[in-house]
Structure formats: structure tokens, C-alpha cells
């Protein structure tokens, strides 16, 4: 389970692009807190502290405790705008966690024991349908990932959401169907045909060359026969005595 991130912030009395630019010049990152039927609040975050947490990973799928000058909020980072060149944070949108403490978040899926899958050993391909699964879960029990074991999986097998072991209190957002996470697919028919045709062509090439070489060698010898008798060679003039 993910741990709660703690960040300190200061209130930003003015909104707008001018105030946001000033915050960045002061070494801060402008942000906003919204949701839970409360008035949005504009804040500033200390750049270095925020960047440390972003670099750790899972920033947008980890609950955050924001301390805004003594007033604490439990939030989730819904959007982090970054500089297109330097890839550093420019603005963050935080959503408040509701009173029930349940949030909607996407959890990545990881696959293990690929080497123990007979289907993959025989040339099958792991076709991942969903790299993430969206779930409802308590803010303090967000899983880092869902793990799927591929041991014993044959070609043609499908892995559905029902096969994923979910901790207590966590439920998929999609509840009306047992949707597919991944499948073990066989080699494409076109690839097999291409491989077979290529091998056949490679094997037939030497035979074709040998077959084509025979007429070429015999053409010169058969030329006189095609025109009847060969013309006699011109007689040399007799030498004078």
C-alpha cells in the first residue's frame, strides 16, 4: 500500500497568470485545491519539496496531506502540468478526498513468471488489453500495482478482472462485466506464411539457378545444329613457289 505524502503550502491570495508567474519567480509552484463541494483554494508549493515527491514516482496515485498554513487537506493530485522543454512542474491540480475517504484512481498492472508460461515458451505473445485498472478504494489503501501470475498460461487463455486479487475495500469502477486484462495470443498467421514462403523460396533458389544454367551452357553447342551444317571456313590463298 502507498504511504501518505506530506507537503506544506502557503495560501496564494490572487489567482491568474500574473500571480502564477510571480510564484514561479519566487521558487514556488502554483496549485489549486478543488472538489468535495467546497470553494477552490489557490496555493503555492515549495518547488524543491514538490519535485522530490514527483521524482519518487506514483505521485498522481498517492494520497497527499497538504498543510496550508496549519489547515490540513487530504487530496489527490489529478493533473501536473510540466514545462515542455525542461519537464519540470508548472502547476498542480489537487482534488479533495470526500468524507467517506473513497477515491477513484487508476492502478497499473504488472505481469510475473513469463518464463513459466507454456504459451509464451511456444512462441505466443502476451497481448495486454489494459495496462491500468480504474478502481474505487480508500485513500490510505491505494495499491502500488496489481500483480498477475502468468505461470501455466497456454496460448488462447484470457485473463479477466475476476482473476485479479483485490484487497478488501477495493472494487473496480466497471462492475457489470468481467472485462479482459490480457490474453496469450498465438503467432500471427501472416507471419507464419511469410516465414514458410521465405524458407521455400530460399531452398528453391539454388535449384532454379542450376536448372537455368543448363540451357545456357548447351545453347552455344546447339547453335550449329539449329542452322544445318556449319559454313566452311574460308580457304587460305596458296603460297607462291
Report the domain count for the chain: 2
Question: Does some domain include residue 234?
Answer: no
Question: Does some domain include residue 198?
Answer: no
Mean pLDDT by 10 residues, the chain (241 residues): 82 84 91 90 93 89 91 92 89 90 91 94 94 92 91 94 91 94 79 46 50 48 46 50 42
Specify the CATH number for the domain of residue 164: 2.170.120.20
Q: Is there a single domain that holds both residue 45 and residue 91?
A: yes
Question: Does some domain include residue 195?
Answer: no
Question: Does some domain include residue 16?
Answer: yes
| Strand runs labelled E in 24-101 | 28-34, 41-46, 63-68, 71-82, 89-96
DSSP-derived 3-state class of residue 149: strand
Q: Is there a single domain that holds both residue 16 and residue 80?
A: yes
Q: Is there a single domain that holds both residue 95 and residue 116?
A: no
* Per-residue confidence (pLDDT) for residue 193, from 0 to 100: 45
Question: Does some domain include residue 201?
Answer: no
* Per-residue confidence (pLDDT) for residue 37, from 0 to 100: 83
Q: Which among 148, 151, 170, 144 has a CA at the least distance from the CA of 160?
A: 148
* Per-residue confidence (pLDDT) for residue 29, from 0 to 100: 94
Q: Are 148 and 177 in contact (CB under 8 A)?
A: no
* Per-residue confidence (pLDDT) for residue 2, from 0 to 100: 59
The C-alpha atoms of residue 92 and residue 79 are separated, in whole angstroms, by 6
DSSP annotation of 129 reads: S
* Per-residue confidence (pLDDT) for residue 196, from 0 to 100: 43
* Per-residue confidence (pLDDT) for residue 201, from 0 to 100: 53
Q: If 0-12 CB within 10 Å is exposed, 13-18 middle and 19+ buried, where does residue 63 land? A: buried
Question: Does some domain include residue 165?
Answer: yes
Question: Does some domain include residue 95?
Answer: yes
Q: Which among 51, 52, 89, 95 has a CA at the least distance from the CA of 77?
A: 95
Chain centroid offset of residue 91 CA: 25
137 lies in which domain range? 103-187
Q: Is there a single domain that holds both residue 62 and residue 123?
A: no
Q: Are 178 and 161 in contact (CB under 8 A)?
A: yes
Q: What is the dihedral of CA 199, 201, 204, 205, to 10 degrees?
A: -120
Question: Does some domain include residue 13?
Answer: yes
Q: Is there a single domain that holds both residue 123 and residue 182?
A: yes
DSSP annotation of 238 reads: P
Q: Is there a single domain that holds both residue 44 and residue 17?
A: yes
Amino acid at each position: 500500500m502507498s504511504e501518505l505524502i506530506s507537503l506544506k503550502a502557503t495560501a496564494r491570495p490572487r489567482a491568474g497568470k500574473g500571480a502564477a508567474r510571480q510564484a514561479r519567480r519566487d521558487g514556488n509552484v502554483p496549485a489549486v485545491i478543488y472538489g468535495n463541494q467546497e470553494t477552490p483554494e489557490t496555493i503555492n508549493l515549495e518547488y524543491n519539496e514538490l519535485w522530490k515527491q514527483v521524482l519518487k514516482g506514483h505521485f498522481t496515485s498517492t494520497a497527499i496531506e497538504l498543510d496550508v498554513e496549519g489547515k490540513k487537506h487530504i487530496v489527490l493530485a489529478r493533473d501536473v502540468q510540466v514545462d515542455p522543454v525542461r519537464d519540470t512542474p508548472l502547476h498542480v491540480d489537487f482534488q479533495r478526498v470526500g468524507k467517506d475517504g473513497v477515491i477513484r484512481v487508476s492502478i497499473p498492472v504488472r505481469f510475473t513468471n513469463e518464463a513459466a508460461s507454456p504459451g509464451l515458451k511456444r512462441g505466443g505473445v502476451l497481448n495486454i488489453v489494459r495496462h491500468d485498472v480504474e478502481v474505487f478504494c480508500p485513500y490510505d489503501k491505494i495499491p502500488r500495482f496489481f500483480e498477475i501470475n502468468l505461470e501455466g498460461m497456454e496460448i488462447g487463455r484470457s485473463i479477466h478482472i475476476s482473476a485479479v486479487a483485490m484487497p478488501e475495500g477495493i472494487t473496480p469502477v466497471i462492475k457489470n462485466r468481467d472485462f479482459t486484462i490480457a490474453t496469450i495470443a498465438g503467432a500471427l498467421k501472416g507471419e507464419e506464411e511469410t516465414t514458410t514462403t521465405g524458407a521455400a523460396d530460399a531452398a528453391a533458389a539454388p535449384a532454379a539457378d542450376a536448372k537455368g544454367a543448363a540451357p545456357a551452357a548447351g545453347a552455344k553447342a546447339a547453335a550449329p545444329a539449329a542452322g544445318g551444317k556449319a559454313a566452311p571456313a574460308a580457304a587460305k590463298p596458296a603460297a607462291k613457289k
